[in-house]
Structure 1
Amino acid sequence: MRKWVSDWFDLPVHVTGDTPRIEMIGTMAMQVENYLQLEKFNFSELQIKVKDGILEIKGEQLKIKAIDPEIVLIEGQILEIRYKK
């Protein structure tokens, strides 16, 4: 249904679906949209469950600046991002 809506209105899939969207602002901040839940968090590692896998963020002095049911904003020195299925 969401794919159909996306095609019908010529919208990107992440707007109508549950596909994760990641936006980086340099190496000091990132925003993850359409996440499912936080799996692990400390000052050097963050794991976020997304559709079809886990998003791993490694860095220094990581902190969650803002969080709501659809978006999480992370700040700190981001050194590595990995997607695991």
Structure 2
Amino acid sequence: MKQFSGSFRKWADWFDLPSDVAGGAARVEMIGSHRLQIQNHQGIEQFSPDKLQLRTPQGSLLIQGKSLTIKAIFPDTVFVEGDIKEFRYL
């Protein structure tokens, strides 16, 4: 399977596919200042109404704001709502 993964990445580079499609990189989509969708997360490290920290293939993703809520969580996607002030990798 590892060989297939390497071949797929070569083809993905050749076809200029985004890394989130090719290699499982996290994809963060912000809709306005009140909603985030994070795909390819690997779990929650910390959660409070002011801070959410997620594990991703690139490291920890920190989301800060006010009244943060996890609206839905699936094995590879999480939806966050609230007054989002900042998100960054640690």
**Post-superposition offset of 1:40:** 0.4
Q: Aligned to 2:9, what secondary structure does the other structure show?
A: helix
- The number of equivalent residue pairs is 84
Higher strand content, 1 or 2: 1
More helix by share: 2
CA distance in structure 2 between the partners assigned to 1:5 and 1:68 by the alignment? 28
> Normalised by the size of structure 2, how large is the TM-score?
0.84
Tell me what 1:68 maps to.
74
Q: Which residue number corresponds to residue 48 of structure 2?
A: 42
Q: Which runs of 5+ in 2 are unaligned?
A: 1-5
* 1-structure distance, mates of 2:57, 2:48: 22
Within the alignment, does 1:31 sit opposite 2:31 as a pair?
A: no
Secondary structure (helix, strand or coil) at the match of 1:6 reads: helix
Q: Which letter maps to 1:51?
A: P
Q: CA RMSD of the aligned region, Å?
A: 1.4
The aligned counterpart of 1:56 is 62
Report the identity percentage.
43
Please list every run of 5 or more consecutive structure 1 residues that lacks an aligned counterpart in the other structure: none
Rg larger in structure:
2
